[in-house]
Structure 1
Amino acid sequence: SDRLGLEAPLTCWHTSRDRSSDMLSSMAILAGTLGKIANEICQLARDEIGELEEPFHMGKIGSTTMPHKRNPELCEQVVVLAKLVKHNAAIGFETLISEHERDYRSIRLEWAAITDSCQYMCGSLSLMKTILRKLLVHEERIRENVNQAAGLIATEALMFRLGEKIGKQTAHQLLYEISMGARSIGRRSTDRPLVELLAEHPEIRSIFTREALEKAIDPEQHIGLAGELTDRVVARAADWLAAQRDTHDLLSPCPLEESGICT
């Protein structure tokens, strides 16, 4: 308890099942967050997106029947573990209702749920540590995907710019018709850029130059405060970790990791 920074409870634990339920629900939230990250990596690793990929090395097998595959096996395991921990949290809530002081019909549920969830969390954290430490980020593919969709996703900004001249609703209808027309014939940035369709329209051409249109749909013009907000979150997390390091020995090596059982 000293190592984990835990304090002695004021009363006995037999009738206060909220403590164990709180622990199980906290683990479910943590496991769910890791599962969300892992699932996002799975989605972004699909061939048609190809922006992220979990660590890979020659000799790692993705499929026993299709030699070319590089399945996100580690991420899939994290997602599975998240679902198991989530359902164990429900077991924890079941134990809140018990008869009198020592109802082992409830307490013994915790023996299974807490033990399993702790093991699942250990595995999930270990897997995510491996995934994030060597995560493959394909920047060129990200840039390609963003540029490919740049025209269509910039229509909101164009609408407000046009709205200053012709009114928002009129601008919305105009861009809606052009965008739907582009989609219906499958025009993409690799075929015929949306900017060309916009530049051909008489009403838009009277307001925007070709150069102004290209600048308006430039993805770098739509980053906004994303970088600043990311830095803010990272700084807050770093401060929290530093505070924990000062008050508790929470960041000491895991005994399983030290023994080589858990990496």
Structure 2
Amino acid sequence: MISRNIFDNISPLDHRYSLREEEFNQYSKYLSEGAKVKYQAQVELALVKALAKGGICSQAVVEEVEEAVSALTPEEVYQEESKTRHNIRALVNCIQKRVSKEAKPYIHFTTTSFDIVDTANALRYKVATEELILPKLKKLEEILMEIALREKDTVQVGRTHGQHAVPITFGFAVAEYVSRLGNKIKDVKESGTDLRGKIAGAVGAYNASHLFFEDPEAFEADVLAELDLKASTHSTQIVEPEYLTDFVHNLISCFGIIASFSDDMRHLQRSEIGEVGEYFAKDQVGSSTMPHKRNPINYENVKSMWKAFMPRMITLYQDQLSEHQRDLTNSASSRFIPELIVGLLSSVNRLIRVCQKLVVDYDNMEKNFDTNKEMIVAEPLYILLASYGHPDAHEAVRILTLEAEKSDKNLRDLIKESKDLKPYWEKFDPRQREILVNPDKYIGIASKKTEKVVEYWKSELGI
């Protein structure tokens, strides 16, 4: 079979983003071409097991097929396909070559190619969800939880529209992503573990299996039970595409969440902000020509990978369309779904490594907050004025902010100098005045909300 140096491969997933041997081995166990052949062979074996349970063939046939399947290699299947020009027929031929004449008739008995293809894909994506995707997503979620709790009291200026808003805490900012990712982990679990298979024949009407079974749907259920799968409610030659579409949509949505988080972290590393930083190794280089630079390459990489794989969701939506009982327009496009999964997992693994060493610059966070802390009190000031009956509090404070910008005075000084506003100031209670004097106290329940969010998702996800 073909053997290449990985650097002769075309896809960056092969020669750049799967260089860590442990990660590559994890991906290939479920998502490689070899894995696909293995799972397809497992469906053929499940078929024979169900036939034996129904008295159609003997247990000896099952044992023969089991041995044949265990010895099967993707190389021999591909070699056979070079003659058949049909991948599933090649798979069937290779299994039949390894069994007796008595066993040969029961390989692929009553099934069509996409009984095997769609069921095998459902099986491997389901197992990958349980054993690979969810553990990785939960690991990242756990790290984000740790950061959120650690920084739940670290005051940070909030930002909306790229402008300083009112105070939050850095932990509260991270808790946003704990919640968003938590919701999507639940969706990935639900859709990934509910992928469906079919043993319904060429057009989904059980034409062939009905020749032998009074209840072919029960036979289908028996085959799929061997694989811990359920049947699609209605199949044509293919499984209803929405099961897979929803699963991939949830993966892409996860990708969008971690890309958004990465974009936030990337902007917080801007020279003029400098509130967080990636760990920078001793010999790491930030620029080929500017030795002083420390670029946020990991967060930028995640966003870049999202840009590469997010548009592929359009292909999945297009694959919902199949003419009548089936056409071949999803045959090639569906083969690229494993790449999308690897792209996501590569980025998740990258964030796991980076976030474990996230550096927070507390001095810069405080400095940036202090830049506009006197203006930040405009919101609580206007709300307090309104609560004590001022007829146009927002406009009054807006005018004060303009005066403050032109002078060295803060809003507190100006309100006490104003004949119209000073009586309101005197009505404020000590706690209210404290917030106006110390804007870093104006963080609402950011800290408590962070704790609440983390505890909720710990419980929901079993972390």
User: Shorter-chain TM-score: what band?
Assistant: 0.7 to 0.9
Q: Aligned pair 1:203/2:424, yes or no?
A: no
In the TM superposition, what whole-angstrom CA distance separates every residue of 1:197-240 from its partner, at most 9, and x where no partner exists? 4444343444437x975642523332112122211211122123
Deviation at 1:130, TM superposition (A): 1.3
Q: Aligned pair 1:52/2:276, yes or no?
A: yes
Question: What are the equivalent positions in structure 2 for 1:13-92 lying under 5 Å apart?
Answer: 14-92=238-316
Tell me what 2:380 maps to. Answer: 157
- For the residues of structure 1 that align with 2:409 and 2:276, how far apart are their CA atoms? 27
366, 387, 404: which is aligned to 1:182?
404
- For the residues of structure 2 that align with 1:225 and 1:75, how far apart are their CA atoms? 29
- For the residues of structure 1 that align with 2:414 and 2:283, how far apart are their CA atoms? 48
1:55 match: secondary structure: coil
CA spacing shift, 1:164–1:27, aligned 2, 3 Å: closer
- For the residues of structure 2 that align with 1:132 and 1:168, how far apart are their CA atoms? 49
Aligned residue identity for 1:99: E
- For the residues of structure 2 that align with 1:236 and 1:227, how far apart are their CA atoms? 14
Tell me what 2:342 maps to. Answer: 119
Tell me what 1:257 maps to. Answer: none
CA spacing shift, 1:131–1:197, aligned 2, 3 Å: farther
Q: Aligned pair 1:148/2:356, yes or no?
A: no
Root-mean-square deviation (CA, aligned residues, Å) is: 2.6
- For the residues of structure 2 that align with 1:39 and 1:218, how far apart are their CA atoms? 30
Deviation at 1:38, TM superposition (A): 0.3
In the TM superposition, what whole-angstrom CA distance separates every residue of 1:118-177 from its partner, at most 9, and x where no partner exists? 1111111011101211111112222222232222122121112223445141x2222111
1:203 match: secondary structure: coil
Deviation at 1:79, TM superposition (A): 0.6
- For the residues of structure 1 that align with 2:282 and 2:418, how far apart are their CA atoms? 52
Do 2:378 and 2:411's aligned partners in 1 also have CA atoms closer than 8 Å? Answer: no
- Higher CA-based Rg: 2
Q: State the TM-score, normalizing by the size of structure 2.
A: 0.47
Aligned residue identity for 1:167: H
Do 1:62 and 1:69's aligned partners in 2 also have CA atoms closer than 8 Å? Answer: yes
Do 2:435 and 2:442's aligned partners in 1 also have CA atoms closer than 8 Å? Answer: no
2:459 match: secondary structure: helix
218, 234, 241: which is aligned to 2:454?
234
1:105 match: secondary structure: coil
Q: Aligned pair 1:223/2:462, yes or no?
A: no
Identical pairs, percent: 23
Do 1:54 and 1:72's aligned partners in 2 also have CA atoms closer than 8 Å? Answer: yes
Tell me what 2:20 maps to. Answer: none
1:57 match: secondary structure: coil
CA spacing shift, 1:215–1:100, aligned 2, 3 Å: closer
Do 1:24 and 1:88's aligned partners in 2 also have CA atoms closer than 8 Å? Answer: no
CA spacing shift, 1:110–1:59, aligned 2, 3 Å: same
Q: State the TM-score, normalizing by the size of structure 1.
A: 0.79
In the TM superposition, what whole-angstrom CA distance separates every residue of 1:102-125 from its partner, at most 9, and x where no partner exists? 42212321112x122111111110
2:333 match: secondary structure: helix
- For the residues of structure 1 that align with 2:285 and 2:415, how far apart are their CA atoms? 47
Return 5+ residue gaps in structure 1 as ranges.
244-263
208, 231, 244: which is aligned to 1:10?
231
Aligned residue identity for 1:8: L
- For the residues of structure 2 that align with 1:34 and 1:222, how far apart are their CA atoms? 29
Count matched residues: 236
Do 2:269 and 2:276's aligned partners in 1 also have CA atoms closer than 8 Å? Answer: yes
Do 1:39 and 1:76's aligned partners in 2 also have CA atoms closer than 8 Å? Answer: yes
- For the residues of structure 1 that align with 2:257 and 2:128, how far apart are their CA atoms? 25
Tell me what 1:256 maps to. Answer: none
Deviation at 1:47, TM superposition (A): 1.5
2:311 match: secondary structure: helix
Indicate the structure whose relative CO is greater, using CA pairs within 8 Å and at least 6 residues apart: 1
* Stretches (4+) displaced over 6 A: none
